Amino acid sequence: MSAASFRALAREAAALYAASGRYARHFAFGKLTRDPVFRHVWDDQLIPHGARILDLGCGQALVGALLTAGGHPGGWTYRGVDASRRDIERARPALRARCELVVDDIRTAPMPSSDAVLLIDVLHYIDPPAQAELLRRVREALVPGGVLILRVADATAGLRFRITEAADLAATRLRGSRVKRLHSVPLAERRRQLESLGFTVEERPMSEGTPFANVLLSAR
């Protein structure tokens, strides 16, 4: 999809949030068009047709909005889980007809059988033992041939990593979160962790056009 076509799709997705107010709509459009992860997930068809999608730490459920606006084929289902009631309430008026949205803690939320699980910019908010347990539960929930789509910050990336962490902490505090520190790990360690669970991992830099040190992992 061309940049212009994806921008038009992002505009349609953002328009779904009109009933939730200008902030929700403008945030959705800005995030979808400025963060390269969304176009990459869409263009590379990382989410299989007809997938049962579980989006952990979904925020405003922007992936669900893209799927809704774009008419993603195959009878997909989407379940978004986030601890922020405010974000979920912004998403519900936009996506109620197609998406199930739940306020819950991803560390303990039910984990239904899924074809695709998303953890985009999420893991570093919970401590390492909780990360390990969550990934184990995700592995159990994924059906054979399923995919875990995971974006993480590369803790070995020097200044770009420090900028990434600072931006994440600033954003969480603006949203009223009490997170005091983040729990990122070196990329090689994260890859070994996933491989020990039986995943085959592909990685791709995912910070194009930004100062950050993000990497997208597709684990199957």
- What is the average per-residue pLDDT within 170-186? 77
Average pLDDT, the chain: 92
Residue 98 near residue 106 (C-beta atoms within 8 A) = no
Cα(185)–Cα(128) distance, rounded to whole angstroms?
A: 9
Q: Residue 120 sits in which domain range? A: 3-219
- What is the average per-residue pLDDT within 122-145? 96
What confidence score (pLDDT) does residue 176 get? 64
Residue 153 near residue 92 (C-beta atoms within 8 A) = no
Quote the number of domains for the chain.
1
* Helix (H), strand (E) at residue 135: helix 128-141
- Start-to-end CA distance of the chain, whole Å, equals 24
Q: Residue 51: give its domain's CATH number.
A: 3.40.50.150
Give the CA distances from residue 213 to residues 10, 40, 83, 107, 169, in Å, rounded to whole numbers and listed in that order. 24, 16, 25, 25, 15
* Helix (H), strand (E) at residue 65: helix 62-70
What confidence score (pLDDT) does residue 177 get? 66
What confidence score (pLDDT) does residue 182 get? 87
Residue 103's φ and ψ, nearest 5 degrees, are -90, 115
Check pLDDT > 70 for residue 193.
yes
Check pLDDT > 80 for residue 135.
yes
pLDDT per residue as tens digits for the range 5-17: 999 999 999 999 9
